[in-house]
Chains A and B, each alone.
Chain A
């Protein structure tokens, strides 16, 4: 018997094993598959998830005010986002990363947080920032170039935007370890127990830091929820070229549960995130949520998605719009009527004006302020250069 004859069956077995692993292949226009947790269909019909009645129970506890709030948050942040995109086109922002299409994933997850929880965002979490109470104008400051992050993270337990892909997931796990060290997990006190939510995208799942954060969270049993917004595109790279298996299934290999939720269904996102955060706060450790959604706009205003994706795909996802489906549900269930929707529109118009005027009147920082806050304590080199800069600047005064 030759070596080749021995090797053939092994190759066949390997091929079969790979085939078993890689089905179903994720697709950018897929519907999320059977595992998808969905409580509101794209048409706005309220449905239950077989096997997880507790998700429906969570939604049933919500008041009509809560549900209208979910709608209002999404409409307002979409309007902020549209205004920011327009401001970039008019040269008022250097760049903008639009959240269009991801409103439900962000509002639903952020609404599931308690005050004492902490969120670590990427640079696209405008909806989370909104729900946490960060002034949207502060978000614009970063993209206008007047600062690198103009809010106090500890005021709203919402960390600064992190631009290096995936780096914040490790900070989130470390913060969660700090919660453990503070004995603020698993005590049963709802005002004391806390957890962390780490936001990242499908592209970030390739990063070493994200994988290390999974390992550390599992090793430490840290109270952290990994919230992956799979918007199907890492700039121009579609998700099917990033992964062989659905992203939520990766969690299993790291030793904690993963769940795929309809990211355009704010009710499902809220229910799933609430359950995951509760579990983390109670000491059950990490969990991964894959919010299956779509980036309706460009990666950023510098991007041109027509070069790498077809408009037919975008049309498929337009039919799954998160705001339209909630509006349909609120209408059909009688929880909100035209007067409410009109009032939210008026509020959105006013907010857009505030954002525009606030952006245009945002002062540039004093040039010498770039020497501030590099260190806590005085650093001789910084001080020497600050003085030299002041002297150099002063040398022009009145002289040109």
Chain B
């Protein structure tokens, strides 16, 4: 076992995928000598060459559009979008082309692409560097969307995403890149499916669902709640499309209460979909309405006030209190 951060774990996963399959290439801005602005691709160009770790001109639609062409030629491109807020110039290529090409071709074409996006706030950044735009892509049929929350998942999920024949938007929790955890870098098979939710912490009173950077917030909240005698079950959704509702519903049927958390604004966010789906599926088990704890429905604010915008431990516990008040 090695103790590595999420960023290093993804780097190790990328390396392993590139060793395994010569068709795997990485494309993006500043990913070569610099190793990416977050150093996630560090040393990969040195070891695999400029042909396979391709520094692209500074144009996101161009990165995704040319990656589509590479995929059509039989490659498995991994695209790095430098920051969440910079994916929008590629939005048309992702939603009109990547997502639809297989259906358009009646199944003749597959586009095995991974679009990596560092996501979320909490790093004191300037505008456009702290966004959570997963709902746009989860809303788009033809794409799969996953979000890792810890180093072991980061290491395996990136490899599984690369092996998938479907295009996948892969969210990386940027404020957690350096948070370390145990990863067995010598293991030969993934501990679980890419699209499976997990119980990050078992509990009895309230289910709290999270993904990406919010999982740690919720785990910390569960520790505090436990000290106050409240038992929170934390579900790490891991996959946003498809959603693993089975694991979530099983938990809610046990606890009778659900709080959904994310950094993204709540209006039409993942929490809205989850609340609707769980209300329908677990109607007779629910003791309270599904509570959403998320970002406010605003443009992401200046970083000096982002801590008031982002759901933190106290806001998660406040959501838990509201669920338990019924």
Residues of A within 8 A of B (CB): 147-154, 159-160, 162, 164, 167, 169-179, 181-182, 208-209, 212-213, 215-216, 219, 372-377, 379-382
Contacts and interface: CB of A to CB of B under 8 A. Distances in A.
Contacts of B242: 379-381
B89 interface: yes
12 contacts: A149-B104, A160-B104, A169-B65, A170-B64, A170-B93, A181-B70, A212-B61, A212-B62, A212-B65, A219-B57, A373-B106, A381-B241
A150 B107 CA distance: 10
A212 B105 contact: no
B164 interface: yes
A151 B72 CA distance: 15
Contact of B70 (A153, A174, A382): A174
B118 interface: no
Contacts of B75: 178, 181
Interface in B49-96: 51, 54, 56-57, 59, 61-62, 64-75, 89, 92-93, 96
B102 interface: yes
Contact of B96 (A167, A208, A372, A380): A167
B103 interface: yes
Given A170-B93, A377-B165, A215 B57 contact: yes
A164 B92 contact: yes
B59 A178 contact: no
Contacts of A171: 65-66, 68-69, 72, 97
A160 B144 contact: no
B107 A372 contact: yes
Contacts of B166: 375-377
Contacts of A212: 57, 59, 61-62, 65
Interface string B92-121: 110011001111111111100000000000
Given A174-B66, A209-B61, A381-B243, A153 B89 contact: no
A151 to B, nearest CB: 8
A147 to B, nearest CB: 6
B82 to A, nearest CB: 16
Nearest to B56: A216
Contacts of A178: 69-70, 72-75
A115 to B, nearest CB: 16
Nearest to A148: B104
B258 to A, nearest CB: 19
Contacts of B109: 153, 160
Given A164-B92, A219-B57, A381-B243, 5 more contacts: A149-B105, A164-B97, A174-B67, A174-B70, A208-B59
B295 interface: no
Contacts of B65: 167, 169-171, 173-174, 209, 212-213
